[in-house]
Amino acid sequence: MDEIIKKNKELLNKLKEVNKNLTVEEQLINLLNIKNEILKFDIQYKQLLELTNICNDINKQNKELFNCNILKIKNKIKNNDENIDNIQHNNIYIDYKTTIDENKEEKYNNIINLPVIFVDTEDEIQNSPLYYVKKTKQFGLKINNNLLMGNIGNIYNKKQPKRKKTKKCNKLFCNKDDCYYYHDNDRNFMNYSWTHSTSYKTPQTKKINGTYQIINNDKNNTRILGSRDTLIEDLLYTDSNEKDLRNSQLIHDILIYQVLSNYLKNY
């Protein structure tokens, strides 16, 4: 590192002296000789910058893993003793935070209270990497042990023909490559699938084996969970379809956000 800096300080001095008491031809020759040294330094600079970024990511991941391990310990202790004091380590403060402060139904506290790491400012939030799973060819990330996986999908409207992979395949044995339906949350969407639907809330909605049976022409693209003021009520009507839809939509939106963020930084 020191040797690189030393050589390139010498290069800087050469550039400062190149125009002194020389003819144009001599100046060009000197500049051409220095050109390769500049290009070499440019490569070294980029390598060092990449190394610095890698070290920064590793440092952040180490902190994140430490926080996750503290959180696991916290969860185990909390299960054994509900009165345990909050775990603190330096500026790390882990506890449960409700998503709906005005909720009055205590029986839902274990559902709407989420484990979080408390920090003083947004600057203390650690960076979370985005992963790519070679086996499934999907992007992925994990939040509080909830795995999100998928890709950016296509969005159709009702009038578009040839709408593929908007509904889940239910075949036991299927040639996935040629299948009209989607597999493993790698799917496309209808444009109305981001809309909070209330059409299921009718007197005719029947509850069978503890689950409300929702009659809908496109259940695969219907959001049941909605806004803050209806969340508790909506939960009663949900099933695994809602989770699959949100998983796919979340990773879709996260990837779109990443692309948008890159675009706004560069243009």
198-202 — which CB contacts under 8 Å span 24+ positions? 198/226, 200/224, 200/237, 201/237
pTM across the whole model: 0.63
Higher pLDDT, 39 or 163: 163
- What pLDDT is attached to residue 187? 92
Residue 24, both tokens: 């144009």
Res 160: pLDDT = 87
pLDDT band at 16 (very low <50, low <70, confident <90, very high): low
Predicted confidence (pLDDT) per residue in 133-154, tens digit: 999 999 999 988 889 999 999 9
Is pLDDT at 71 greater than 50 in this prediction? yes
| Burial category of 251 from C-beta neighbours within 10 Å (exposed 0-12, middle 13-18, buried 19 and up) | buried
- 3 state SS of 73: helix
Task: Tell me how far CA of residue 87 lies from CA of 74, 242, 258, in angstroms.
Answer: 7, 34, 33
Q: Examine the pLDDT at 82 and tell me if it is beyond 50.
A: no
Give long-range contacts, CB 8 A cutoff, 24+ apart: 95-102: 99/231, 100/228, 100/231, 100/232
Task: Kindly state the average pLDDT of the residues 151-175.
Answer: 88
Q: Which of 75-79, 119-123, 160-164 has the lowest mean pLDDT?
A: 75-79
- Which H or E run includes 89? strand 87-89
Res. 175: pLDDT tops 70: yes
What's the mean pLDDT in 248-254?
Answer: 95
Residues linked to residue 232 through DSSP beta bridges, in sequence order:
none
Residue 25 vs residues 20, 55, 142, 215, 229: alpha-carbon distances, Å? 13, 45, 62, 84, 78
Which residue has better confidence, 133 or 172?
133
Output the average pLDDT for the chain.
Answer: 77
Domain spans of the chain, in order of start = 2-57, 130-267
Q: pLDDT at position 255, please?
A: 96
Burial class (CB within 10 angstroms; exposed 0-12, middle 13-18, buried 19+) of 234? buried
Please tell me which residue, 247 or 50, carries the higher pLDDT value.
247
Q: Is 31 exposed, middle or buried (0-12, 13-18, 19+ CB in 10 A)?
A: middle
Q: Please indicate whether residue 73 or residue 154 has the higher confidence score (pLDDT).
A: 154
